[in-house]
């Protein structure tokens, strides 16, 4: 009899806990349709942004893309037309230039899903980086996002339909954990997290939902360029989270945006990283909240193990460098 009560208690406790989490999670779950809606993608002429534009167009969205190079924009428009038969609108502007951004956004018309994907990444030790490169990274990745939001938000808030809207940021796993060689990049992407968390408070009453996408290394022209200068240690550390195709990242990102997820991970390592860094982030899914609570302790141990490995690689690297300096 006692065993039966004990078994019942064991069953009821997790259920009661799930019930509590169902009541607790905020903001409430939401579905954000993109069919026949205006999806505006910055950095949509290359890599992840281009894959997002392809996917959104093939799912029936009206797509606009913005980037600097008019030639790359034309190429992207032609490639999307060839693959989907759909025309996307293109806007040539530098996200650092608020006036140019505002003109593009006004011309494009009210936006339902603002996808802030533009980004620059230079992997280099701070010591070897010019301050102008640091400022450039912050200006494009962080200030560029502010420029877009300031330009687009008034019309997004006054949209005619009552459907939920979205502002989504393409961050990076280097925006969840600091990584050797990414001092400036990580700072800019961690900045996006603060921006996104605070912005969600401010726009929730307007039925606008914020998402942060955290891709691992992804096969894009941007990564090919970055790899030319990437420090060896950055390669060793970043490779611990796999490598994806831009199309796979785009699918994960759009599915997450449509579910209104605040944090969107792209692979298994990314899910573990997101759970380990959940902190005070919003969480809409009571099931994910359950996983976060249950896994928190064990993932902290895993995280300590990962840091142990990374610091081991850094120490080994410096020992080898000192050894070869002594020999020469």
Ligand X SMILES: NC(=O)c1ccc[n+]([C@@H]2O[C@H](COP(=O)([O-])OP(=O)(O)OC[C@H]3O[C@@H](n4cnc5c(N)ncnc54)[C@H](OP(=O)(O)O)[C@@H]3O)[C@@H](O)[C@H]2O)c1
Taking the alpha carbons at both ends of the chain, their separation in whole angstroms is 78
Phi and psi angles of residue 20, each rounded to the nearest 5 degrees, phi first: -60, -45
- Tokens 């080994």 locate to 316
CB of 17 to ligand X, least distance (A): 34
Both tokens of residue 305?
């193990």
Cβ closest to ligand X, residue 223 vs residue 236: 223
Residue in 72, 189, 252, 258 annotated catalytic: 189
CA dihedral 95, 70, 111, 152 (to 10 degrees): 30
321 is catalytic: no
189 is catalytic: yes
Residue in 171, 261, 265, 274 annotated catalytic: 171
CB of 323 to ligand X, least distance (A): 32
188 is catalytic: no
Cβ closest to ligand X, residue 207 vs residue 220: 220
Quickly list DSSP for 294-308: HHHHHHHHHHHHHHH
What is the rounded distance in angstroms from the CA atom of residue 227 to the CA atom of residue 256?
Answer: 28
What is the rounded distance in angstroms from the CA atom of residue 56 to the CA atom of residue 51?
Answer: 9
Strands in 160-242 per DSSP E: 165-170, 208-214, 217-219
CB of 66 to ligand X, least distance (A): 6
Cβ closest to ligand X, residue 121 vs residue 180: 121
Backbone φ/ψ region at 42: left (φ over 0), alpha (ψ -120 to 50), beta = beta
User: Which parts of this chain interact with ligand X (CB under 6 A)?
Assistant: 42-43, 45-49, 67-69, 72, 94-96, 117-121, 140, 144, 170, 172, 215, 217-218, 220-223
Residue in 185, 186, 258, 274 annotated catalytic: 185
Cβ closest to ligand X, residue 61 vs residue 95: 95
Whether 117 and 167 have beta carbons less than 8 Å apart is answered as: no
CB of 297 to ligand X, least distance (A): 28
Whether 257 and 168 have beta carbons less than 8 Å apart is answered as: yes
Give the H/E segment covering residue 265.
strand 263-265
Cβ closest to ligand X, residue 84 vs residue 218: 218
Prior bond of 27 cis (ω within 30°): yes
CB of 170 to ligand X, least distance (A): 4
Cβ closest to ligand X, residue 69 vs residue 307: 69
CB of 93 to ligand X, least distance (A): 6
- Which amino acids are annotated catalytic? 171, 185, 189
């Amino acid at each position: 009899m006692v065993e039966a009560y004990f078994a019942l208690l064991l069953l009821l406790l997790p259920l009661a806990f799930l019930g509590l989490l169902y009541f607790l999670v905020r903001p409430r779950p939401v579905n954000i349709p993109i069919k026949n809606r205006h999806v505006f993608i910055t950095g949509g002429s290359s890599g992840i942004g281009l894959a997002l534009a392809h996917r959104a167009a093939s799912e029936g969205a009206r797509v606009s893309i913005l980037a600097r190079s008019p030639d790359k924009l034309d190429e992207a428009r032609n490639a999307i037309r060839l693959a989907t038969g759909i025309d996307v609108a293109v806007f040539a502007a530098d996200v650092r230039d608020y006036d140019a951004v505002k003109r593009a956004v006004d011309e494009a018309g009210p936006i339902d899903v603002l996808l802030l994907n533009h980004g620059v990444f230079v992997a280099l030790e701070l010591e070897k980086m010019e301050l102008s490169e640091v400022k450039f990274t912050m200006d494009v990745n962080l200030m560029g996002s502010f420029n877009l939001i300031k330009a687009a938000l008034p019309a997004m808030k006054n949209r005619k339909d009552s459907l939920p809207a979205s502002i989504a940021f393409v961050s990076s796993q280097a925006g969840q954990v600091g990584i050797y060689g990414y001092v400036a990049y990580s700072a800019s992407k961690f900045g996006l997290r603060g921006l996104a968390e605070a912005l969600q408070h401010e726009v929730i009453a307007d039925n606008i939902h914020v998402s942060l996408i955290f891709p691992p290394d992804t096969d894009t022209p941007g990564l090919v360029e970055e790899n030319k200068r990437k420090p060896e240690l950055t390669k060793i550390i970043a490779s611990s989270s796999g490598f994806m195709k831009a199309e796979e990242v785009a699918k994960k990102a759009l599915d997450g945006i449509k579910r209104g997820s605040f944090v969107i991970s792209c692979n298994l390592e990314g899910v573990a990283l997101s759970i380990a860094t959940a902190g005070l982030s919003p969480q809409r899914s009571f099931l994910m909240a359950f996983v976060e609570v249950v896994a928190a302790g064990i993932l902290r141990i895993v995280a300590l193990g990962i840091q142990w490995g990374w610091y081991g690689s850094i120490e080994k690297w410096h020992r080898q460098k000192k050894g070869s300096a002594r020999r020469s």
